[in-house]
Amino acid sequence: MSASVAASPSSFLPIPPARDIPLTFTASLKSWWHAGEKQGAAAEERLLRRLPFFVPEKMPTSSAGDSPVIARTERLDLAAPKHYLNTLSIKSTNTVPNAPPPAVVLHGYGAGLGFFFRNYPALATWAGHRGTDVYALDWLGMGRSARVPFHVKAKRDDVVGRVREAEAFFVDSLEEWRDKMGLDKMTLIGHSLGAYFSVAYALRYPTRVNKLILLSPAGVTRDPNNLTMPSRELTDTGDSASSANARPATSASTSAVSHIRNEQRAARNQESRTMKLVTYLWEEGWSPFQLVRSTLFWGPMLVGKYSSRRFSSLTEDETRDMHEYILNITLSKGSGEYCISHILAPFAHARMPLVDRISALKMPITFVYGEHDWMDPVGGLQSLQQLREAGNHFGRMFVIPSAGHHLYLENPRAVDDLLIQELDLTDKQH
């Protein structure tokens, strides 16, 4: 069953095309001047209008025709004043008894729900076929969710206090969102820091989590000398796996993990001395987005250099739309981004590693890494061992070929096939 609709995006109110990625100071200044909430909403909608089952705000759901699913965005208000979570709902139009729990997609650090535009069609087809729903949301203080003040009261040397406060900022808002949405259980699909928060949520609310699917998760390993290299996010180019040539995910063998780590060792040997400055700024609580905002008019050019290089696997139109989306997220008021130095030490080493906490979980957990990932996959292997020793034999780990940290964008077909496989497998395990 395909997730198609009778209506076409051309029947919706038009949205101006995204601006070209700025190559000059003048173009960068114009982009900076026009950035804002309205432009951010338009940038998100440009990405989502690629979904044939998406219905823009203020359009009647009847415009979706006889589609098995309907996708819409909304702001879900939380209890605290001016707190809300930006949400994408992909809802089945034909719910069935005993449908599997809905899947909830959770983005990584400083990203947003628009990053998964290539994966929603496959997830929507699954939802329509199984009579369930798929959701994606922006974490509080990130994406297009409320940019509320982020403060940690614990002192710098109180590591546990800092981590607990930072995690609670995100975990508590996710739990309030779940309650308001009326969901009993969820399968959480988290990427990077979103995967970290997914585990933190499961540790606190284990009865609300059906399964965890962790895409290139952050904060797993305990080794401060691990090979994770967040600086590669600024230097890596996007891998490209066409639909015709995309290889499927493979089980994470010892040789596959060794291949990833050998590549990471080679990259670390070439790392710049400027990382000392990055380490200092990290410990002082600066975020990468704060640095970009501090450049003012040059910000759009800096984001453009990143977008063009990092998402080179996308088409030209997709890259331009992604740039506009990332730019407006980056230039928004700083909020949840300031969590990073409380949760992770420099080089993405967790202050309270998940590998030391994950054995408490009893639900199925799947780790997924890219073949050219900059997250050290050894943390995944160590976690599987911890789970097995604790009696949880539903841990699995896969490698996505021709993909790096943003594996869901760089080899969407392999990731989509794996996600559907894992979502369906959950039913057989329970």
Total count of residues recorded for the chain: 430
Active site residue 417: no
Q: In a 10 Å sphere around its CB, with 0-12 CB exposed, 13-18 middle and 19+ buried, how is residue 26 labelled?
A: exposed
Q: Which of 192, 307, 308, 335 is catalytic?
A: 192
Between the alpha carbon of residue 121 and those of residues 312, 363, 417, the distances in Å are 21, 26, 12
Q: Which of 107, 191, 405, 406 is catalytic?
A: 405
Q: Which of 373, 376, 383, 406 is catalytic?
A: 373
Active site residue 405: yes
Active site residue 430: no
Give me the numbers of helices (H) and strands (E) for the chain, helices first please.
14, 11
- Across the strands, what pairs with 397? 367
Q: Got the DSSP string for 63-111? A: GGTT-SEEEEEEEEE-SSTT-EEEEEEEEESS--TTPPPPEEEE--TT-
Residue 136 · residue 88 · CB < 8 Å: yes
Q: Which residues contact 387 (CB under 8 A, 6 or more apart)?
A: 358, 359, 361, 365, 393, 394, 395
Element (H, E) at 40: helix 37-48
Show which residues are catalytic: 192, 373, 405
